[in-house]
Structure 1
Amino acid sequence: MLLRIVSPCLALAAVVAAGCGDSSRPQREQPAELGSISQGVGTPPSSTLACASNAPCAMPLIAAGSKHFVGLRSDGTVWAWGDNAEGQLGDGTRIQRRTPVPVLGPGGLLAVAAGEKFSMALHADGTVWTWGSNEVGQLGDGTTTGSTAPVQVVGLSEVAAIAAGGLHAEARKTSA
């Protein structure tokens, strides 16, 4: 199975775990800090990971934040791992995770994106869900209060695609 790369940082050769930092330059992190895309030391990267439940998690879509990852499984659920200081893993905690854990919230998701310290997902109904840091309003819920679980972006529907930058989120609607 081919791994669809969402972040240019993941295109780096021989990187165990990577993210884009404040300057959008690729950064390497130690496997103990972020977890690993590979199955172990010396094993090539794979799109199948061991999840917190020890069940394999095939993730055809993975997005990289500054120090965290979000992956979309083919069943429409989102899993996340890495730094969670701002709740960017969406599991209702601020606990760092070295293996993928399920993100709370709706299933039926089609796409994921990751910013510096926040994450987002596109639902099949065209709504957008965000979680994590909200220091400049990047969650789109009308506040600057962060969230450790997904919140729906206010007033946004009929979305076809999403993207995230360091401190901003983007959505393309299905109609002009």
Structure 2
Amino acid sequence: MIPKLAAGRRHSVGLKSDGTVTAVGDNKNGQCNVADWRDIVAVAAGNVHRATNTGNSHTVGLKADGTLVATGWDKHKQCDVNGWSDIVAVAAGWRRTVGLKSDGTVVAAGRNDEGQSNVYDWRDIVAVAAGDWHTIGLKADGTVSSAGNNRYGQCNAVSWRDIVEVAAGYLHTVGLKSDGTVTAAGLNKHGQCEVSGWRNMVSIAAGSYHTVGLKADGTVAVAGLNMQGQCNVSDWRDIVAVAAGCAHTLGLRSDGTVAAAGDNEYGQCEVSDWWGIQLPGNINLPKS
């Protein structure tokens, strides 16, 4: 699913139906400076795990012409994407940006201390996800590629089959299967990988320590840490897309408004006045 919502460590980003972007939350590093963006078709927000007491984050926008714009924290050159072209999907992790090209190859910018940016030999990729220290690629045949930190087995997804969507959290990875079930690998200290009983899912998202699943009936399932109330979504209805930040969760309703739950210390959940957020659907992307 092409993301119209994105959630970072302390900020939230929404893509509007007119191709402009709105953002709320911590703006210490300019990660919410998106008011002048135009012709955007997808957004991504860099996350930071809660153990790191910093709001350092960045925001990336994919333009209709296949180029990127980025703003925010750039210590590791994760915002140096101006020269990229033919991009059809984008993901943002901690200190890096990952782009999927129209030919199925992948590019990355930013930190690579743990090999999380070693994606240049990937082929036939149709979607990408970025955790804090690992990167996941979904291949056209429904299998998965991975790179980066594997301390907790978060990269142990090579045996997965029939995957149609991937998500990456701090130290865990989630895959949505074609039959609507969900699989997960990695750190499960807070139960964030306990998704084996989920059914009828159409989309997924991964926060630092929680996992979110969108059901076909527009309701939402969640597993994992709920210290900040990020899992309090049982009353959500008519949801068509979900996003998960460090400790907050966003849900896009069918009417273009947004629901939020969880950590709101920096106003990242103050989205009640958002409207006209672009609904999921096919968009015109660059052709190879």
TM-score normalized with structure 1 length? 0.65
Q: d(CA) in 2 for partners of 1:18 and 1:34?
A: 15
The structural deviation recorded for 1:108 is 1.5
Deviation readout 1:70-118 (Å, 9 max, x if unpaired):
1111221111110101000015xxxxxxxxxxx223x221100000100
2:91, 2:99 within 8 Å by CA — same for their partners in 1?
Answer: yes
Gaps of 5+ in 1: 39-48, 51-55, 92-102, 141-152
1:114 equivalent in alignment to 2:130: yes
Gaps of 5+ in 2: 14-22, 24-31, 35-43, 58-71, 182-288
Aligned to 1:14: 33
Please tell me whether Structure 1 or Structure 2 has the larger radius of gyration of its CA atoms. 2
**Count of matched residue pairs:** 134
The structural deviation recorded for 1:34 is 2.3
Equivalent runs, 1:15-164 vs 2, <5 Å: 19-23=46-50, 27-28=56-57, 30-36=73-79, 49-50=82-83, 56-91=84-119, 103-105=120-122, 107-140=123-156, 153-164=157-168
Q: What's the RMSD between the two structures over aligned residues?
A: 2.8
Q: d(CA) in 2 for partners of 1:35 and 1:66?
A: 9
Q: d(CA) in 2 for partners of 1:163 and 1:156?
A: 14
TM-score normalized with structure 2 length? 0.41
- Structure 1 pair 118/6, CA: closer, same or farther in 2 (3 Å)? farther
Give the counterpart letter for 2:153 in structure 1. G
- Structure 1 pair 164/6, CA: closer, same or farther in 2 (3 Å)? farther
Find the residue that maps to 1:20 and give its secondary structure: coil
Q: d(CA) in 2 for partners of 1:18 and 1:72?
A: 16
Give the counterpart letter for 1:62 in structure 2. V
2:56, 2:73 within 8 Å by CA — same for their partners in 1?
Answer: no
Give the counterpart letter for 1:19 in structure 2. G
Q: d(CA) in 1 for partners of 2:88 and 2:7?
A: 16
- Structure 1 pair 121/172, CA: closer, same or farther in 2 (3 Å)? same
